Amino acid sequence: MERDTHFVLGVYDDEDVLLNAVEEVRSSGVRIQEVYSPYPVHGLEDVLGYKRSRLPIAAFLFGILGTTLALLMQYYMMLFDWPMIIGGKDYASFPAFIPVTFELTVLLAAFGMVGVFMISSNLKPWAQPRIFDVRSTDDKHIMAIDIANNSAMDIARIEDILKSSGAIEVNKKSFE
Amino acid sequence: MQVTSSVRDPLITGGKTYHDVTHDVCRQVENKPSVAWYLAFLTAAGVLALGSIAIVATLWEGIGMWGLNKTVGWAWDITNFVWWVGIGHAGTLISAVLLLFRQKWRTSINRAAEAMTIFAVICAAMFPVIHMGRPWLGAYWALPLPNTFGSLWVNFNSPLLWDVFAISTYFSVSLVFWYIGLIPDFATIRDRATGLRKTIYGALSFGWDGAAHTWMRYESVSLILAGLATPLVLSVHTIVSFDFATSVIPGWHTTIFPPYFVAGAIFSGFAMVLTLMIVTRKVFKLEDYITIAHIEMMNIVIIVTGSIVGVAYITEFFIAWYSGVEPEFYAFYNRATGPYFWAYWTMMTCNVISPQLFWIKKIRTSIVATFILSIVVNIGMWFERFVIIVTSLHRDYLPSSWAMFYPTWADVGVYLFTFGLFFSLFFLFAKFFPVINMAEVKAVLKSSSEKVSK
Which pLDDT score is estimated for B45?
Answer: 95
What is the average pLDDT across A143-147? 85
- Cβ–Cβ under 8 Å, residues B193 and A143: no
B2 pLDDT more than 50: no
With an 8 Å Cβ cutoff, is A160 touching chain B? no
A64 pLDDT more than 80: yes
Which residues 44-83 of A have a C-beta within 8 angstroms of B?
44-45, 48, 50, 53, 55-56, 59, 73-74, 77-78, 81-82
- Provide the mean pLDDT of chain B: 88
What is the average pLDDT across A65-88? 89
What is the average pLDDT across A79-108? 88
Percent of chain B exceeding pLDDT 70 equals 95
- Choose among B154, B162, B188: nearest Cβ to A138: B188
Which pLDDT score is estimated for A2?
Answer: 46
- Beta-carbon contacts of B247 under 8 Å, excluding residues fewer than 6 positions away, are B253
Q: What is the ipTM of this complex?
A: 0.90
Query: In terms of Cα–Cα distance, which of B265, B246, B253 is closest to B89?
Result: B265
3-state helix, strand, coil in chain A (%, to 5): 50, 10, 35
Query: Mutual orientation of helices B367-386 and B257-283 as an angle, nearest 10°?
Result: 140
Which pLDDT score is estimated for B310?
Answer: 93
* Confidence band for B174, pLDDT divided at 50, 70 and 90: very high
Which pLDDT score is estimated for B10?
Answer: 72
* Confidence band for A5, pLDDT divided at 50, 70 and 90: low
Search chain B and give the residue with CA nearest A103. B166
Which pLDDT score is estimated for B454?
Answer: 47
- Cβ–Cβ under 8 Å, residues B55 and B130: yes
- Terminal CA-to-CA distance of chain A, rounded, Å? 15
B149 pLDDT more than 90: no
pLDDT digits (tens, 9 = 90+) for A99-123: 999 999 999 999 999 999 999 888 8
- Cβ–Cβ under 8 Å, residues B298 and B113: no
Give all domains of chain A, ordered by start, each with its CATH number: 2-52+130-173 (3.30.70), 55-120 (no CATH)
The helix/strand/coil state of A50 is coil
Question: Measured between alpha carbons, how far is B48 from B115 in angstroms, rounded to an integer?
Answer: 19
With an 8 Å Cβ cutoff, is B144 touching chain A? yes
A90 pLDDT more than 60: yes
pLDDT digits (tens, 9 = 90+) for B238-293: 999 999 998 888 889 888 999 999 999 999 999 999 999 998 888 888 888 888 88
| Chain A residues close to B176, C-beta within 8 Å | 110-111, 114
B/e letters for A154-165, b = 16+ CB within 10 Å, e = fewer, are eeeebbebbeeb
Give all domains of chain B, ordered by start, each with its CATH number: 18-447 (1.20.1630.10)
Which pLDDT score is estimated for B354?
Answer: 92
Contact flag A45-B216 (C-beta cutoff 8 Å): yes
Query: In terms of Cα–Cα distance, which of A129, A141, A40 is closest to B438?
Result: A40
A151 pLDDT more than 80: no
φ/ψ bin of A89: left (φ > 0), alpha (ψ from -120 to 50), beta (otherwise): beta
Which pLDDT score is estimated for B329?
Answer: 92
Radius of gyration of chain B (CA): 23
Q: What is the DSSP string of B363-424?
A: HHT-HHHHHHHHHHHHHHHHHHHHIIIIIHHHS-S-GGG-------HHHHHHHHHHHHHHHH
With an 8 Å Cβ cutoff, is A85 touching chain B? no
Question: Measured between alpha carbons, how far is A159 from A169 in angstroms, rounded to an integer?
Answer: 10
What is the average pLDDT across B125-134? 89
3-state helix, strand, coil in chain B (%, to 5): 75, 0, 25
Q: What is the dihedral of CA B23, B24, B27, B28, to 10 degrees?
A: -160
The helix/strand/coil state of A170 is strand
Cα of B155 to nearest chain A Cα, Å: 8
The helix/strand/coil state of B240 is helix
Question: Measured between alpha carbons, how far is B393 from B250 in angstroms, rounded to an integer?
Answer: 9
With an 8 Å Cβ cutoff, is A96 touching chain B? yes
Question: Measured between alpha carbons, how far is B296 from B275 in angstroms, rounded to an integer?
Answer: 13
pLDDT digits (tens, 9 = 90+) for B293-343: 889 989 999 999 999 999 999 999 999 999 998 889 999 999 999 999 999
Which pLDDT score is estimated for B171?
Answer: 93
pLDDT digits (tens, 9 = 90+) for B190-235: 888 888 888 889 889 898 988 888 999 998 999 899 899 889 999 9
